[in-house]
Chain A
């Protein structure tokens, strides 16, 4: 049982480039999330999804886009990368949402924009 798998683990982007962070889960969870973690700061929610075809903005969505065509996959797209997007990105999933969230996290993608 792989849980939540994120690829790539590390990436360096140049300013203005675009990329997609991949996330897949094999637990048949309806709820999926993208967070970013900056040094000395708490995790911030970027986008979340409550099921295939349904996504919504979190706390810090600017500069990002998501899609959810299947239950398993929840890719995060960065368009026109900026240095402010240098961070560690975590994808997570849960069976339930909100206060019942026991979220399972992937291992993270460390992104540097130069």
Chain B
């Protein structure tokens, strides 16, 4: 069965304390991996798409990487405004996209 697992469930950081969020997947065939940010009471906001192992993408303090089994979202020197839930999703073809449950990130000033 296709599965997407995100860890940790929650992460508490001090401002400036860099860390990484993990998205591991067991799927029949990865066509693309997506990262979204979701603020409380809001819909997910698209961040990145990664298509193949070794690919990396950056946006401000965020950097996403992809291997054959997992993806990492690295957060460098986070700020309180980076606090949100980060969702990972894997597309296995057509409209079959499997979402992980998310990692809730709290950044304290």
**Interface positions of A (Cβ within 8 A of B):** 4, 33, 40-45, 48, 56, 58, 90, 92, 97-108
Query: Which B residues are in CB contact (< 8 Å) with A92?
Result: 43
**Interface positions of B (Cβ within 8 A of A):** 4, 31-32, 34, 41-46, 49, 51, 87, 89, 91, 93-95, 97-102
B31 and A102 contacting across the interface, CB-CB below 8 Å: no
Query: Which B residues are in CB contact (< 8 Å) with A105?
Result: 43-45
A106 and B95 contacting across the interface, CB-CB below 8 Å: no
Nearest to B33 among chain A residues (CB) is A99
Query: Which A residues are in CB contact (< 8 Å) with B102?
Result: 42
The 8 Å CB contact of B87, one of A4, A42, A97, A106, is: A42
Instruction: For residue B32, give the distance in angstroms from its CB to the closest CB of chain A.
Output: 4
Question: Given A90-B43, A101-B34, A108-B42, are A45 and B49 neighbors across the interface (CB < 8 Å)?
Answer: no
A98 and B95 contacting across the interface, CB-CB below 8 Å: yes
Query: Which B residues are in CB contact (< 8 Å) with A98?
Result: 31, 91, 93-95
CA distance A40 to B104 in the complex (A): 11
Query: Which A residues are in CB contact (< 8 Å) with B101?
Result: 40-42
B43 and A106 contacting across the interface, CB-CB below 8 Å: yes
Query: Which A residues are in CB contact (< 8 Å) with B45?
Result: 105
Instruction: For residue B11, give the distance in angstroms from its CB to the closest CB of chain A.
Output: 16
B43 and A48 contacting across the interface, CB-CB below 8 Å: no
The 8 Å CB contact of A43, one of B31, B46, B87, B93, is: B87
CA distance A105 to B97 in the complex (A): 15
Which A-B residue pairs are the 9 nearest by beta carbons? Answer: A105-B43, A42-B99, A99-B32, A43-B99, A99-B31, A99-B91, A102-B46, A105-B44, A90-B43
A108 and B91 contacting across the interface, CB-CB below 8 Å: no
Query: Which B residues are in CB contact (< 8 Å) with A44?
Result: 99
Nearest to A43 among chain B residues (CB) is B99
CA distance A92 to B31 in the complex (A): 20
CA distance A106 to B42 in the complex (A): 8
